[in-house]
Amino acid sequence: MNAAESKLFQEAHQAPSVVEQTLRENQREIAQLGAFLRRHPPPFVLTVARGSSDHAALYGKYLFETLLGRVCSPATPSVHTVYGQRLALNRALLIAISQSGQSPDLIEVTRQARREGALTLALVNQSESPLAQAAEVVLPLLAGPEEAVAASKSYLASVALLAQLAAAWAEDKPLQEALARLPEALHQALQADWQAGLEALLEAERGLVVGRGYAFAVAQELALKLKETSAFQAEALSAAELWHGPLALVEEGFPLLVLAPRDKPLPGLLEGLETLRGKEAHLLVASSEAEALALAHTPLPLPIRLYPVLDPILLAQAFYPFAVQLALARGRNPDAPRHLSKVTRTR
């Protein structure tokens, strides 16, 4: 198999068109939902998701907290499904995110939240799924079939929809205008050539994916993809958390994939990169910013910048084809990771 024959590679290249359709088809519903949330602001937002969808939810947490000042927290499904506890969720907003909409724990949390008086919203690719039926409001991802086990276009559709919801709720005109340009920017992100990064990761067994703020949310997704597709033991860390102990992992040649988009955390990231250069780590820096790339041992340039809130999404888009190339170089099938299946049902 070459990279272009991979389902994951093909689905990643479908993502810009998927995002364009998803934003367009959900625009009216999201505008109405944003107006409702302004009239009836929830005391907090709760998210429930697994895997890549949970990483999309973390991106949503940053959106709701930085743009709206609204506390957002992930649900712990076992509180509901194993311990049988009921939570005080009256008037809260619960957002469930899933590609398949089949996992029993997500369905049960959504049902219980609705019974407790929460407004329940499902972002789901299978709009006739049990999760969609459990929620009061459904925003379809419209990603179409995903044949690769590792999600790509459904993840990008999820984060784009969350940004669209936050922009409508906050009446954030600059973000709304940037979202209109997101599909084209995703197309341009696919032109990123990160093959230089293959050598540093080809023989490595483990490494860290580092970001801050919105980029940390995306770092979680990239670390999962390295695990899934290349059996590479990657851990995502906040750049701030790196200095509180995990720095002890760093040894000569230890790979750190650092996500450094143009955003408020960038100055601190640049200071950190300066320090890390003296600690023998191999720095792979993914960024649109020349000053960040100049500090890398292996620069991974992003050929486009769009808007600070959205630029980490472009990094994810650029990463997916690279993940396919890396998996193939390491002798792995990026479409069918061992032990994994597309639909996972947990309680």
pLDDT tens figures, 284-338: 999 999 999 999 999 999 999 999 999 999 999 999 999 999 999 999 888 776 5
At 342, the pLDDT band (50, 70, 90 cuts) reads very low
Let me know whether 129 and 205 are in one domain.
no
Whether the CB-CB separation of 141 and 158 falls below 8 Å is answered with yes
- State whether 170 and 85 are in the same domain: yes
Which of 156, 188, 220 terminates a domain? The answer is 188
Residues 107-141: pLDDT tens digits?
A: 999 999 999 999 999 999 988 899 999 999 999 99
- The residue from 146, 170, 188 where one domain ends is 188
Q: Is residue 344 part of a domain?
A: no
Do 175 and 302 reside in the same domain of the chain?
no
| Sign (positive or negative) of CA dihedral 179, 47, 63, 170 | positive
Over residues 160-189, the mean pLDDT reads 98
Residue 334 located in a structural domain = no
Whether the pLDDT of residue 159 is over 80: the answer is yes
- Asked if residue 170 and residue 288 are part of one domain, the reply reads no
**Domain identity same for 170 and 43:** yes
118 and 229 belong to one structural domain: no
293, 287 Cβ separation under 8 angstroms: yes
181 and 210 inside one domain: no
Instruction: Show the tokens assigned to 58.
Output: 């973390």
Distance between CA atoms of 78 and 250, rounded to whole angstroms? 35
Q: Give the CA distances from residue 64 to residues 73, 198, 264, 312, in Å, rounded to whole numbers and listed in that order.
A: 10, 36, 17, 16
Average pLDDT of the chain? 91
Examine the fold and report which residue of 162, 188, 214 is the final residue of a domain before the chain moves on. 188
Is residue 338 in some structural domain?
no
Distance of CA 345 to the CA centre of its chain: 20
Residue 346 confidence (pLDDT): 53
Under the banding of pLDDT at 50, 70 and 90, the label for residue 231 is confident
pLDDT for the residue numbered 338: 59
Residue 302, domain member (yes or no): yes
Instruction: Check whether residue 103 and residue 156 sit in a common domain.
Output: yes
Could you tell me the pTM of the whole model? 0.94
Residues 190 and 4: their CA atoms lie apart, in Å, by 13
CATH number of the domain encompassing residue 112: 3.40.50.10490
- 143 shares its domain with 177: yes
DSSP state of 305: -
Residue 345 in any domain: the answer is: no
pLDDT digits 0-9 by tens, 18-64? 999 999 999 999 999 999 999 999 999 999 999 999 999 999 999 99
Same domain, yes or no: 90 and 135? yes
Same domain, 178 and 305: no
Q: Are residues 139 and 219 in the same domain?
A: no
Tell me the residue range of the domain where 221 lies: 191-329
Can you tell me the distance from the alpha carbon of 73 to that of 301, in angstroms, rounded to the nearest whole number? 33
* Residue 347 domain-assigned (yes or no): no
pLDDT band at 345 (very low <50, low <70, confident <90, very high): low
Q: Which amino acid is at 127?
A: S
Number of domains in the chain: 2
288, part of any domain: yes
In a domain, 159, yes or no: yes
- Cα(first)–Cα(last) distance of the chain, in Å? 36
